[in-house]
Structure 1
Amino acid sequence: MQIPGFTYDRVTTQDGTRLNVAVGGTGAPVVLLHGFPQTHLMWRHVAADLVSDHTVICPDLRGYGDSDKPADTGDTYAKRTMAQDVVAVARALGHERFALAGHDRGALVAFRAGLDHPDTVTHLGCLDVLPTLDMWDVLHGTTAAVGFHLYLMGQPPGLPEAMIGAAPDAFFGHFLDAWAQGAFPPDVRAAYLAASRNAVTSIVADYRASATIDVEHDQRDRDSGTRLRMPVTVLQQDWGAALGYDAAALWRAWAPDLTHVTVSSGHFMAEEGPAEVIKHLRELLTR
């Protein structure tokens, strides 16, 4: 499936990985990064609004959707590598600086891009995620069961791929159903399942990186005092009430110029409550 009115191309990144990229509109560029278990299609409602006065760029992350799925060599799916993809795509399209927003896995890529490329990312939006270090810190005891997939896909290669590959639709469909407050349109749900079914190995590699190399990169930045220098907006469900932490405080330690908003929709807020997401992203872009 495609976003109506957008043009599509395959853009080659710094290491030869080709990403499927949807582009629409004119004006100041905004890059939108999707989450799990989705593709760029999750931004269709938000993109249709922003395209009225922005150039909107929606790639499939490496390993997802119709983008290449290179074999993992250790840092292939590090968020640092995926952030470099984003910068390469924008530059290939003629943009040296751009605003960036991501959801879920895409938000982790956006977070890393903001830390690594502060002179390139002008504004940063992150939807329903915690930075990697904070995520691992807050998951403990029985409440950590909500993140069972993080522990499963963080294991060494072999077992996670075999288990998920044996019933991919049941695995990925679980998250589409359990994390949403309503049902996805059947054609959209089918598109997400088809894309994920064909990307088990690379999706696991993405998550494995968040239990290994991404932790190392984030820890170095925490220790050195590296912070996000651009305006940041974070939209989240009220995770803290369920898991016992202050999400805004965790984010503020990374982002001094922070707007933190608790939203009423479920995890897939860009599809469940696009008007609220659009409102806050537009406010971010004016800061």
Structure 2
Amino acid sequence: MQITGFDYQRVPVAEGVSLNVAIGGSGSPVVLLHGFPQTHLMWRHVAADLVADHTVIVPDLRGYGDSDKPADTGETYSKRTMAADVVAVARAFGHPRFALAGHDRGALVAIRAGLDHPDAVTHLASLDVLPTLDMWDVMHGASAAVGFHLYLMAQPPGLAEKMIAAVPDEFFGYFLDAWTQNPDAIPADVRAEYLRASREAVTSIVADYRATAGIDITHDTADREAGRHLTMPVTVLQQDWGAALGYDAAAVWRKWAPDLDHRTVTSGHFMAEEGPAEVIKALRDLLAR
């Protein structure tokens, strides 16, 4: 499936690795990164609006959708590697500087891109995640059951892949059901595409999550200890996780992003599909800062 009105290209980002990328429009560039268990299609409503006055670049992350899925060698799916992919894609289209928005896994990649490439990322939006270190910090006790998949996919290679591959549609479909307040926001054909893409990417999806319990912690810890932060304007859209898990989400984010606009949404996790108007407004407000 494709986003209506967008052109599609395969863009080389590293030796032997190319990403499937949708691009449309003209004007200042905005890159949109999808989450789990989705593909670039999750941005279809938002992209259709932004394309009126921006160049909108919407890739499948490495390991997801129709992008390449290289074997994991330790840092293949680190957010640092995946962030470098994003910078390479933007440069391939002639944009050394760009605004960046990410949801879920894509938001973790966006955060790393903002930390590693501050001269490239002009504005940054994060949808419904905490930075990696803070995510692990707040997951404790019975409340951590909501993130059972994080712990499953953090295990050494082998077991998690076999378990998920045995019932992939049930596994990935569980999150599409449990994390949405409006099932109609993900139509049957889009849901089928998400399941198809995830079914074909079990190994690389697990590798992405495993990195977040390993090498990504190493990279983020180094940044925290060095006092690095996101220097560009940042907008965060989140469900009200803080109330459920007992922390101040805005305060957590402000440690990383001094120029912060933190907003709590009423939609479910898949907010770009459930509440696209709210997401579009937040992104347009961000781009005006």
- Category of TM-score, reference length = shorter chain: over 0.9
Q: CA deviation at 1:15?
A: 3.2
Q: Distance in 1 between matches of 2:204 and 2:14?
A: 18
5 Å-filtered alignment, 1:192-207, equals 192-207=194-209
Q: Distance in 2 between matches of 1:217 and 1:284?
A: 27
Matching of residue 8 in structure 1 with residue 8 in structure 2: yes
Q: Distance in 2 between matches of 1:173 and 1:126?
A: 23
Match of 2:249 among 233, 247, 250: 247
Q: CA deviation at 1:94?
A: 0.6
Q: Distance in 2 between matches of 1:16 and 1:125?
A: 29
Aligned length: 287
Residue in 2 aligned with 1:281?
283
SS of match in other structure, 1:13: strand
Matching of residue 111 in structure 1 with residue 111 in structure 2: yes
Q: Distance in 1 between matches of 2:98 and 2:238?
A: 23
Q: Distance in 2 between matches of 1:39 and 1:158?
A: 24
Residue in 2 aligned with 1:139?
139
RMSD (Å), alpha carbons: 0.4
Q: Distance in 2 between matches of 1:139 and 1:243?
A: 8
SS of match in other structure, 1:8: strand
Q: Distance in 1 between matches of 2:102 and 2:81?
A: 16
- Name the TM-score, length of structure 2 as normaliser: 0.99
Output the amino acid matched with 1:9. Q
Matching of residue 232 in structure 1 with residue 234 in structure 2: yes
Q: Distance in 1 between matches of 2:14 and 2:119?
A: 18
Q: Distance in 1 between matches of 2:17 and 2:258?
A: 34
Output the amino acid matched with 2:278. E
Output the amino acid matched with 2:248. D
Residue in 1 aligned with 2:156?
156
Residue segments in structure 1 that go unaligned for 5+ positions in a row: none
Q: CA deviation at 1:16?
A: 3.1
Output the amino acid matched with 1:53. D
Q: CA deviation at 1:179?
A: 0.1
Q: CA deviation at 1:14?
A: 2.7
Residue in 2 aligned with 1:272?
274
Q: Distance in 2 between matches of 1:93 and 1:16?
A: 19
Q: CA deviation at 1:182?
A: 1.4
Output the amino acid matched with 1:195. A
Residue in 2 aligned with 1:60?
60
Output the amino acid matched with 1:74. G
Residue in 2 aligned with 1:76?
76
Residue segments in structure 2 that go unaligned for 5+ positions in a row: none
Residue in 2 aligned with 1:125?
125
SS of match in other structure, 2:101: strand
Q: Distance in 2 between matches of 1:182 and 1:45?
A: 15
Following TM superposition, the consecutive aligned residue runs of length 4 or more in structure 1 with deviations greater than 6 angstroms are none
Output the amino acid matched with 2:274. E
Match of 1:211 among 213, 216, 221: 213
Q: Distance in 1 between matches of 2:63 and 2:282?
A: 29
- Name the TM-score, length of structure 1 as normaliser: 1.00
Q: Distance in 1 between matches of 2:214 and 2:49?
A: 37
5 Å-filtered alignment, 1:31-50, equals 31-50=31-50
Q: Distance in 2 between matches of 1:16 and 1:27?
A: 31
Residue in 1 aligned with 2:187?
185
Output the amino acid matched with 1:21. V
